[in-house]
Amino acid sequence: MLARLLLVTSIGALAACNNATTVADGADGSRGSWVSPAVLAQSVALDGTAAWYTGYKDDEPHDIPLVNRALMRPELMRQRVEYTGGEAPGTLVVDIDDRFLYLVEGDGKAMRYGIGVGRNGFSWRGAARVGRKGVWPGWGPTDNMLRINPDLPTYMEGGLENPLGARALYLYQGDRDTLFRIHGTNEPWSIGEAVSSGCVRMLNEDVVDLYERVPVGARVIVRRG
């Protein structure tokens, strides 16, 4: 099992929706008295990184590594919360600044998930819809990503090392793919941080939960600033 857990962390810095260059909020990587796990993860050996995982959840074609929630801030855990926005039930609201994703349920409630977001200058905002969904999806960089980093692989099959994780929701405006995704991550310490090249990342177990709740066609609002 340990070997499989280490495999999850081995891909490191790909690009696109899973850039591993972590930028913490404060100059010292802290928010108040809380020290960012992203900073801690970079300062420990691989064995320490593997401590983020506690076991597996059955899934096909790959089991999902389960995250040690004791290493996360409580507010980043999936939970039902009071919600006073005016969006219709079934709407996804991505709050880039606060690093939460809300699935509006109605009756003043929403399911809230902690997320990792794009670093400064890389976050998209606007209204879209879920154009399609993927299970352990493959990933390929855009032409622009390859120009910036020609060493990137041109395509990766879905799996534990893939930067899109266990599930992905692809956002469209009309028939146009925005290239913005809501997806899983193999870097759980990045949840709550501004680290990626623009997309929204979630714990794999959380994105599976969201995938099962949200149909193709669901409205998505991404807001920041």
pTM of the model: 0.81
Tokens of 36: 């960012």
Q: Are strands 92-95 and 167-173 parallel, antiparallel or unpaired?
A: unpaired
Query: Any bridge partners for residue 169, and if so which?
Result: 133, 182
Q: What is the reported pLDDT for 11? A: 40
Residue 38 above 70 pLDDT? no
Q: What is the pLDDT of residue 224?
A: 87
Give the residue among 92, 96, 101, 111 at the shortest CA–CA distance from 214: 92
pLDDT at 122: 58
Residue 1: per-residue pLDDT: 45
- Catalogue all structural domains in the chain, each as residue range(s) with its CATH number: 2-223 (2.40.440.10)
Report how far residue 28's alpha carbon sits from residue 39's, in angstroms, rounded to the nearest whole number. 9
Q: What is the pLDDT of residue 28?
A: 38
Over residues 142-181, the pLDDT tens digits come to 787 788 889 988 999 999 989 999 999 999 999 999 989 9
Per the residue annotation, which of 169, 199, 208, 214 is the catalytic one? 199
Closest CA to 191 of 30, 71, 76, 111: 76
Question: What are 82-133's pLDDT values in tens digits?
Answer: 999 999 999 999 999 999 999 999 899 999 999 999 876 456 789 999 999 9
Torsion of CA 189, 195, 197, 201, to 10 degrees: 40
Phi, psi of 111 (to 5 degrees): -90, 125
Q: What is the mean pLDDT of residues 73-82?
A: 97
Catalytic residue among 183, 189, 191, 204: 183
Section 187-213 average pLDDT: 92
CA distance 16 to 9: 17
> Would residue 199 show up in a list of annotated catalytic residues for this protein?
yes
- Give the SS3 label for residue 99: coil
Chain center to CA of 42: 18
